[in-house]
Amino acid sequence: MSVETLTIQGISRPVSRIALGTWAIGGWMWGGSDESKAIATIRSAVERGINLIDTAPVYGFGNSEEIVGKALEGIRDKAVIATKVALDWNDDGPFRNATPARIRQEIEDSLRRLKTDHIDLYQVHWPDPLTPIDETARELEKLRQEGKVLALGVSNFSPEQMDAFRDVAPLAAVQPPYNLFERDIEKDVLSYAKDHGLAVLAYGALCRGLLAGKMSPSTRFDGDDLRKVDPKFQSPRFEQYLAAVAALEDYARARHDKTVLALAIRWILDKGPTIALWGARKPEQIEGVDEAFGWSLSQEELDEIDKILTRHVTDPVGPEFMAPPTRKG
C-alpha cells in the first residue's frame, strides 16, 4: 500500500495522513476494551504504514496509553506517538487543567505508560480558561527544550488561542473535530492552519462510526457508550444522518467504486494539510484503510456531496456535547 504522508514541524520523519485514533481502545465511553485485540490493531496499523498513533491519558484514564506502550514495544522506532496533556480527572470525570504542575506530572506519567523516552507530538487537549495560555505554552516549550517532546500541538483551540500560544512557543499542529457532518473549522481554524503551516489532525473523522456505513435505525448502544447521549444518535436526527450516509454510499460507489468510509476519509484529505484520525479497536476495522489513498474528489464532486448533506440532514448538530468542564477554581 502506498501511504500518503506529510511533514509536521519538529518531527524528522514523514507522518502518515491517516492516524490510528485510540480513544475507543481505552475503553471508557466505548463499552470496555479488549487489550489483545487493541494491541493487534496497533501493530497491524504500523505494518500497513500507518505510523502516527494518537492517544491521550484520559482515554480510559491511562489505559489507552498503556496499551499503546505495550503494542509498540520493539517497534517504537517505526511509530510517531501523539498524546495529550491538560485534562485532569476525579470521581466525577474529566476536567480541564493546564497548569505547569499538572503538565509536569502528566509528561512523566505518559512517558512511563508509553514506555518511551520522548513524545513525538504533545498536544494540549482542551484550553483551560483558568490558566493563562502563555503559562501552559511556556512549560511545554521547556519540555521541548529538554527533549521530552519533539513538537507541540493544541486541540480544540480557536485562532486567537493559537496566537497566544505561538507568542511563547512554536506550534506544529492543531487537532479539531472535523468530518463530513462536523465542519465548524472551515470558518477559521482550517484557513489559520494553512496560513501558519500547521498540520490538522481531524478527530472524529468517521463521526463516532456513523460514516463507517455499518449502522441502521435499529442500532443500539450499551453501557457507557457516549453515543447514548450524542444528539446525532437520537431520533429523529439519527434517521437523517443515516439517510445521508446511505446517499453518500450510493454516490461513492457510482463515482469511484468506493465505500462511504473511504469517501469520508478522502474528503478530509482533500481539504488541506490534514490527517484523518481513524478510530479502530479491532484489526479488521482498519482493513479498508488503503481505499482512501490514490484518488481525489473534484470540486464538482465536493459540491454534490454538500448537496446530499443539505438534502438529508435538515437539523444538523455539532460535537459540542463532548466538551469537558472547567475545573473548580
159-166 helix and 189-196 helix, angle to the nearest 10 degrees? 30
292: which 3 cell numbers?
A: 482512501
Give the three cell numbers for residue 255.
463515482
Look-up: residue for cell 498536544?
123
**Helix/strand/coil for 25:** helix
| DSSP characters over 239-267 | HHHHHHHHHHHHHHHHHHS--HHHHHHHH
Residue 59 designated active-site: yes
**What's phi and psi for 164, nearest 5 deg?**
-65, -40
Does residue 81 sit in helix, strand or coil?
strand
Q: Of the listed 59, 122, 203, 241, which one is catalytic?
A: 59
- Under 8 Å CB-to-CB from 197, ≥6 apart: which residues? 9, 273
Q: Who contacts 177 (Cβ-Cβ below 8 Å, separation ≥6)?
A: 156, 184, 185, 202, 203, 204, 318, 319, 322
All 3 cell numbers of residue 28? Answer: 471508557
Task: Just list the catalytic residues.
Answer: 59
